[in-house]
């Protein structure tokens, strides 16, 4: 599967495009639409480069979801999972287990457990996880 417009819109609503590198809440250097690979302090990019990195990063997240999930997904479920992987880099093991067992309601409850940076609960991550959960459960 490929991410749809609802998934891209969700990601873009949380990953504000910045053309100058900045440390994210976990102190990882980030640029563009949440791109981190090879980014260092002082880096800059154009809007075109940021958009190109977004496409590559989305493809990476899609590959993880497509390779990991063994049950059929709706477009909304797929989009929510790609957003989650885009942000975290992987699917939570319990979430993946529940999805592959067909327990989509249980899997939806797992989103809210991923709102921490270290031991600190981040309001932005809490909002993002709730948005992903809502999309995941939407018909």
Residue 53 burial (CB count, 10 A): 20
Name the nearest CA neighbour of 78 among 135, 117, 118, 127: 135
Beta pairing partners, 116: 121
Residue 66 burial (CB count, 10 A): 14
Q: Is-catalytic flag, 48?
A: no
SS3 of 78, please? Answer: helix
SS3 of 66, please? Answer: helix
Give the gyration radius of the chain's Cα atoms.
15
* Per annotation, catalytic residue among 15, 62, 110, 132: 15
Structure tokens at 39: 């980014």
User: Would you name the residues annotated as active-site residues?
Assistant: 15
């Amino acid at each position: 599967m490929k991410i749809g417009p609802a998934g891209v819109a969700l990601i873009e609503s949380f990953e504000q495009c910045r053309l100058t590198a900045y440390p994210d809440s976990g102190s990882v250097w980030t640029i563009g639409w949440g791109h981190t690979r090879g980014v260092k302090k002082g880096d800059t990019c154009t809007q075109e480069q940021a958009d190109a990195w977004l496409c590559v990063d989305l493809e990476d997240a899609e590959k993880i979801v497509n390779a990991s999930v063994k049950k059929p997904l709706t477009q909304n479920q797929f989009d929510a999972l790609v957003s989650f992987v885009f942000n975290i880099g992987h699917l939570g093991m319990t979430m993946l287990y529940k999805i592959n067992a067909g327990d989509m309601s249980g899997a939806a409850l797992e989103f809210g457990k991923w709102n921490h940076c270290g031991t600190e609960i981040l309001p932005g991550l809490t909002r993002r996880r709730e948005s992903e959960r809502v999309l995941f459960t939407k018909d």
